[in-house]
C-alpha cells in the first residue's frame, strides 16, 4: 500500500483521476470499480473534464459499482443508480450495457449478489477499484466486524452509517437499513485499489487503517495487504497520522509545511 498525501481535496481528486486516466489510456477496455458518496465527486468531475476537453474515451470500459441500498428504485434520488447517473454516467460515453450497479429492488436479492460476482468474473475481474472510507472504517458497506474474506451480499447498516448518510435523506427514518455490497474479499481481488479520504471526519479511520492492526473491526485496514493500493488523503484526513508517518510522507519533520524564504 502506498499512502499519498495531497494538500487539498482538489489535489487528491486530481491525483486519483490522473491514475484512472493513465490506466484507461493504457487499457481502453479496462474494468473499473466505482464508489458513491461525497468523496469521489471531485475525481468524477475531473474525469468528466478530461472526457470533454481531452477526449478521454470510456466507450469500451466496463464498470461495477460497490453497493446499492435495498428497497430503493433506480429512480429514487438517493439510490446509488441515480447518484451515479448524475455524478458521472450521464456526462461520459460509457456503453450502458457495460455498466453495473447492484439491483436493490430485485425480488431475489441473494441471487443478484451471486450474479454480480459471476458478472465480475466474466468481465475478467476488476482492474482498478475506487473506494471511499466510512468514519467507522467501512469500505463499501462492509461495516466493522465484516469478514475480511466476504463476497457480494446483503448487509445491515450500522447506526453510525445510517446517521452519517441521513444528511442525504429528508430524515434519518428514511435511510434504508439494508444494502447490497461487494465483499471485502471481492474488493481485494481487484488488480489495483484507490482509496480516497478527505476531511477531519475521516482522520481517525485513516490513522487506524494506515497505522493500526489489520482487523475486521476496521475493514479499511485490510488495504495494507494489497500490493497495489494507493491510499490518497488530503491534509485534514492525514492530520492524526503519527509524526513518523507524516515525516515519511512529506519528507519534513512532523509533516510541517515547507518554510518559504
Ligand atoms: C459508497 C461506499 C461507502 C462510502 C463511504 C464514505 O459506494 O462504498 O463506503 O465510500 O461511506 O462516504 P462519503 O464519501 O460520503 O464520506
| Domain count along the chain | 1
Answer yes or no: are the C-beta atoms of 110 and 214 closer than 8 Å: no
- Percentage of residues in the chain having pLDDT higher than 90: 89
Q: Is the pLDDT of residue 66 over 60?
A: yes
Q: Is the pLDDT of residue 259 over 60?
A: no
Q: Which residue spans within the chain are E strands per DSSP?
A: 2-6, 31-34, 62-65, 67-69, 99-100, 128-131, 153-156, 178-181, 192-197, 229-234
Provide the residue range defining the domain that includes 40: 2-260
Give CA angle at 47 (137, 198), nearest 5°.
30
> Which atom of ligand 1 is the closest one to the Cα of 131?
10
- Is 138 part of the annotated catalytic residue set? yes
Q: How confident is the model at residue 131 (pLDDT cuts 50, 70, 90)?
A: very high
Q: What is the mean pLDDT of residues 159-168?
A: 90
Q: pLDDT, tens digit, for every residue of 200-243?
A: 999 999 999 999 999 999 999 999 999 999 999 999 999 999 99
Q: Is the pLDDT of residue 257 over 90?
A: no
- Is 260 part of the annotated catalytic residue set? no
Looking at residue 260, its pLDDT comes to: 44
State how far the Cα of 66 lies from the Cα of 79, in Å rounded to an integer: 13
| 212: CATH | 3.40.50.1360
Does the Cβ of 136 fall within 6 Å of ligand 1?
no
Q: How far is the CA of 261 from the centre of ligand 1 (A)?
A: 40
Choose which residue among 134, 152, 175 to substitute to test ligand 1 binding: the one with the highest number of ligand atoms within 8 A of its C-beta: 134
Which residues fall within 8 angstroms of residue 38, CB to CB, at 6 or more apart? none
Does the Cβ of 219 fall within 6 Å of ligand 1?
no
State how far the Cα of 168 lies from the Cα of 38, in Å rounded to an integer: 10
Considering the candidates 15, 51, 65, 67, report the single residue annotated as catalytic.
67
Q: How far is the CA of 35 from the centre of ligand 1 (A)?
A: 7
The CA-atom distances, in angstroms, between 18 and each of 11, 61, 64, 131 are 10, 16, 20, 16
State how far the Cα of 141 lies from the Cα of 154, in Å rounded to an integer: 9
Choose which residue among 9, 16, 37 to substitute to test ligand 1 binding: the one with the highest number of ligand atoms within 8 A of its C-beta: 37
Cell of 63: 464498470
Looking at residue 256, its pLDDT comes to: 64
> Which atom of ligand 1 is the closest one to the Cα of 201?
16
Nearest-CA residue for ligand 1 atom 3 is 140
State how far the Cα of 88 lies from the Cα of 13, in Å rounded to an integer: 14
DSSP single-letter state for residue 19: H
> Which atom of ligand 1 is the closest one to the Cα of 199?
16
Specify the length of the chain in residues. 261
State how far the Cα of 75 lies from the Cα of 245, in Å rounded to an integer: 44
Q: What is the DSSP string of 115-145?
A: HHHHHHHHTT--SEEEE---TTS-BTTB-TT
Looking at residue 261, its pLDDT comes to: 35
Q: Is the pLDDT of residue 96 over 70?
A: yes
Amino acid at each position: 500500500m502506498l499512502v499519498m498525501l495531497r494538500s487539498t481535496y482538489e489535489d487528491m481528486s486530481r491525483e486519483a483521476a490522473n491514475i484512472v486516466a493513465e490506466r484507461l489510456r493504457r487499457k481502453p477496455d479496462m474494468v473499473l470499480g466505482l464508489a458513491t458518496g461525497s468523496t469521489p465527486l471531485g475525481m468524477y468531475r475531473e474525469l468528466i473534464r478530461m472526457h470533454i476537453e481531452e477526449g478521454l474515451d470510456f466507450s469500451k470500459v466496463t464498470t461495477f459499482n460497490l453497493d446499492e441500498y435495498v428497497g430503493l428504485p433506480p429512480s429514487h434520488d438517493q439510490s446509488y443508480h441515480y447518484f451515479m447517473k448524475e455524478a458521472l454516467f450521464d456526462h461520459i460515453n460509457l456503453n450502458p450495457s457495460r455498466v453495473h450497479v447492484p439491483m436493490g429492488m430485485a425480488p431475489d436479492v441473494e441471487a443478484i449478489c451471486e450474479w454480480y460476482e459471476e458478472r465480475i468474473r466474466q468481465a475478467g475481474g476488476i482492474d482498478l477499484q475506487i473506494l471511499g472510507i466510512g468514519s467507522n472504517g467501512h469500505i463499501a458497506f462492509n461495516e466493522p466486524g465484516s469478514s475480511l474474506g466476504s463476497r457480494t451480499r446483503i448487509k445491515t447498516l450500522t447506526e453510525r452509517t445510517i446517521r452519517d448518510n441521513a444528511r442525504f435523506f429528508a430524515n434519518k427514518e428514511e435511510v434504508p437499513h439494508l444494502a447490497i455490497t461487494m465483499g471485502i474479499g471481492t474488493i481485494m481481488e481487484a488488480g489495483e485499489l484507490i482509496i480516497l479520504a478527505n476531511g477531519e471526519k475521516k482522520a481517525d479511520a485513516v490513522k487506524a487503517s494506515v497505522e493500526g492492526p489489520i482487523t475486521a473491526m476496521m475493514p479499511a485496514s485490510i488495504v495494507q495487504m494489497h500490493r497495489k493500493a494507493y491510499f490518497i488523503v488530503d491534509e485534514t484526513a492525514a492530520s492524526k497520522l503519527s509524526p513518523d508517518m507524516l515525516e515519511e510522507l512529506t519528507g519534513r519533520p512532523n509533516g510541517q509545511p515547507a518554510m518559504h524564504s
